[in-house]
Structure 1
């Protein structure tokens, strides 16, 4: 009789051990999912809140104005100062300010360039994730281009057909921007925020720092 009991007991012990190990593995998987969710869900929620304003009281959401619907910059043809096409979709993903200036970027345009430049500088070690691009309807004169390059060495220069730009914004809630304006473009190439000279550098900085915090560097 004793000989029959020992194998049964051994099998029962092995079965119990397997069940415990199975429960342990299951608990580990759920723990991993819980940890991932604790990190990812708040970041996703913050990103959605920033774009939509859902769940936030008025006056405490964004410092700029939302561009609705967001507009994909690949739908317009940007040309560099030497006439080459600028294909942002083929470049490293960045947050970008498209600064819509006048024909030769006069006083108000310069003021907005200065504000965005100071914001860029104040980003410190995050500055490489952001780019500034001046967009004008006509190419700048050589003299004007030289002046602005001297004052803004990290600024890119481009041109776009004015009618094409108007058509691009026509079905948005900012159909004709009086200018100058800065459009904030996300890492996927969508213009989603609008700023002008009524906005301070601190306001721009607050928005972009929040977006950099809740978005991954691609």
Structure 2
């Protein structure tokens, strides 16, 4: 009689354990089915693996991507990081000639329109204008009025040269927009040969397959 009761208890315990194990497996399977395609798409976007050349990104890839968020710069007499680590945003870093002339203004306009067209996801993207020599006050005020969400950084010529060298691409002009990912890597470059639709296509895909914090 005791053996039968023990056998019954064992069967009951095993029966309880099996559904629990099955539920855990199902949970892991569901998470994997959601996360793996996102991870795969992100890898494909960065590397182009598995697709014909030129069919994924619209901008020019920087290979390998360059980590620049901790690049030390002299800003207003103090040494600081180029980008803040506290805000994991996607960023357009617009490198201009001194004074932000015609080519620079075109890029500012294009990137602003892209930013607007992102709608509710616009808060995940930030635009920064990097200039060398200080702009005239009236020019700076004009830019601030036309681009209220734009941040302006005036860096030394040495810092500008470093950024230009780190983000150089043979097919992209010196006045360019660099796309920086959430981890601070410069990974793609655009100039005025790229349309707003091309910038928008890339950033929308990256926002879709990246985390939001």
Q: TM-score, normalised by structure 1?
A: 0.88
- What is the CA-CA distance between 1:161 and the residue it aligns to? 2.8
Rounded to whole Å, the distance in 2 between the matches of 1:104 and 1:176 is 23
Residue ranges of structure 1 left out of the alignment (5+ in a row) = 1-5
Matching of residue 28 in structure 1 with residue 18 in structure 2? no
Rounded to whole Å, the distance in 1 between the matches of 2:65 and 2:174 is 18
Match in the other structure for 2:187: 192
Matching of residue 126 in structure 1 with residue 132 in structure 2? no
Correspondences of 1:3-14 after superposition (within 5 Å): 6-14=1-9
Q: 1:42 aligns with which of 33, 37, 42?
A: 37
- Give the greater-gyration-radius structure (CA): 1
Match in the other structure for 2:204: 209
Rounded to whole Å, the distance in 2 between the matches of 1:115 and 1:21 is 61
Match in the other structure for 1:72: 67
Match in the other structure for 1:112: 107
| Secondary structure, aligned partner of 1:99 | strand
For residues 148-174 of structure 1, the C-alpha deviation after alignment (integer angstroms, 9 at most, x for no partner) is: 111111111002233334335546662
Q: Cα distance 1:38–1:193, how it changes in 2: closer, same or farther (>3 A)?
A: same
| Secondary structure, aligned partner of 2:98 | coil
Residue ranges of structure 2 left out of the alignment (5+ in a row) = none
| Secondary structure, aligned partner of 2:194 | coil
Rounded to whole Å, the distance in 1 between the matches of 2:205 and 2:131 is 28
Rounded to whole Å, the distance in 1 between the matches of 2:133 and 2:168 is 25
- What is the CA-CA distance between 1:189 and the residue it aligns to? 1.0
Q: Which range moves more in the overlay, 132-141 or 171-180?
A: 171-180
Q: Which range moves more in the overlay, 62-71 or 84-93?
A: 84-93
Match in the other structure for 1:3: none
CA RMSD in angstroms, aligned pairs only: 2.2
- What is the CA-CA distance between 1:10 and the residue it aligns to? 1.9
For residues 95-129 of structure 1, the C-alpha deviation after alignment (integer angstroms, 9 at most, x for no partner) is: 00000111111111111100000000000000000
CA contact (8 A) 1:76 1:168 kept: no
Q: Cα distance 1:78–1:100, how it changes in 2: closer, same or farther (>3 A)?
A: farther
For residues 59-78 of structure 1, the C-alpha deviation after alignment (integer angstroms, 9 at most, x for no partner) is: 21100011122222221426
Match in the other structure for 1:137: 132
Q: Cα distance 1:119–1:78, how it changes in 2: closer, same or farther (>3 A)?
A: farther
Q: TM-score, normalised by structure 2?
A: 0.90
